[in-house]
Amino acid sequence: MVLNDDQKAMLDGKMGKGAAYAMKIQVSIGEAFDAPRMVPITRAHVALSNQEGDTWFAEKLYNAGARCRIAPTVNPGFCLAHFDKNSKHPVSEEDAALMRRTDAAYRGLGAILSYNCTPYLASNVPNFGEVCAFSESSATPYVNAVWGARSNRESANSALCAAVSGYVPEYGLLLDENRKGNILVHVEAEMKSPYEYHCLGMMGDKIGEGIPVFVGLPKYISPESLRNLGAQLNTSGAYGMFHIVGFTPEAPTLEAAFGGKKPEREVVITDQDFREFEEKFSDETNNGKIDFAMFGCPHFTLKEAMYIAKKIEGKKLAVPMYILVSCAADEMAQRMGVKDVLTAAGAELIPDTCADEPCWHYLKGKVGITESPKCAYYPRRRNIHFVIRDLDTCIESALTGEVK
């Protein structure tokens, strides 16, 4: 790998031990992928996990003097103002202490403490062709496919090293030839709402490895739908990019999406595929009874919070409803009175928090309902279970306390 003078100086420790450590990791990744050089980035997003290994690594860099050249946005942990030992959402002192350590480490490194898993929708939006380092399963396909920016599927640690060093090795999806599709996906299912894009993304086993090119989708696709598609593609598989012919910027035509080549294989997705997935992936309930509803994995938008508020205004929920959002969406909902409507019905708008966090320990052994397969997938390791249905069905189930 050929390094420039700035990169050599950083690697040699002339900019401090922390920067040298970050650059050493970036160079090692580049060597593993036979990258010929490093290239500068202009944006980064770090999928911090608020788990011991992640926090240890961030503290190691910080204590060695590292500071971010490119201030990254960060994923949610859990909101300490909402979850504490004295609230109705009590957490252990051990879990709270780890969250405080995580906050302190990333604050010290110079990260933007957004605590939001959908930065590509508002707070950290790249331009076409911009080279970035984005970790977070829903973020990488969104910035590549929807915005036409360029990022590999970074880990939390490699994205942080990119933010500290300001560089990434040039390989993979940073190169034109690796951004072309190789699987043609005919969507024959009826795509009525953002929920169907969750289901489409969960077809990873049927689509197979590669870069899918979707045809048959509606002309208008909402940001929420695109968010869902990317999030679930990385739940059911490992996809850094997709194309939608006539919609995403690098796929104005079928020929452009495939780079003039023929697809390696073709796949057809139907409504029946969605129904089979829903049945297979949902957990069992106690005679149809549910204990709670949870939305916002990835984080819900203000628009979605408003939609739920309209559906439940003047009513009372039979079970608790947790809606995870960014702090910006939470603030706007509060200003607009949307949060008051939700609270009156028994729903909670919760900022800066992830579904896969120890703060939800009191849901252990319970069965909830959600429209997000990703939300159902990760908490299972904490013995929290979910039925998966479309959003309207989820809302109705939260009002009645059962799902049909």
Alpha helices in 75-117 (DSSP H): 93-109
Confidence of residue 12 (pLDDT cuts 50, 70, 90): very high
Tell me if domain 5-176 and domain 282-400 are identical in fold. yes
In this prediction, residue 188 carries a pLDDT of 98
Instruction: Give the pLDDT confidence of 332-351 residue by residue, as tens digits.
Output: 999 999 999 999 999 999 99
Q: Model confidence over 44-79: pLDDT tens digits?
A: 999 998 899 999 999 999 999 999 999 999 999 999
Segment 215-224 shows an average pLDDT of 97
- Statement: residue 32 has pLDDT above 90: yes
Query: In the CATH scheme, what is the code of domain 282-400?
Result: 3.30.499.10
Domain boundaries, the chain: 5-176, 180-273, 282-400
pLDDT at 86: 79
Under 8 Å between Cβ of 186 and 267: yes
- CATH fold for domain 5-176: Aconitase; domain 3 (3.30.499)
Q: Is the pLDDT of residue 87 over 90?
A: no
Predicted pLDDT at 246: 98
* pTM, to two decimals: 0.96
Distance separating alpha carbons of residues 165 and 183, to the nearest angstrom? 35
Contact by Cβ (8 Å): 376, 277: no
- pLDDT over 90 (residue 27): yes
Please, what is the Cα angle at 24 between 20 and 26, to 5 degrees?
120
pLDDT, tens digit (0-9, with 9 covering 90-100), for 380-390: 999 999 999 99
- For residue 44, CA distances in Å to 164, 328, 360 come to 10, 19, 28
Tokens linked to 305? 């919070």
Round to whole Å and give the CA distance between 44 and 52: 22
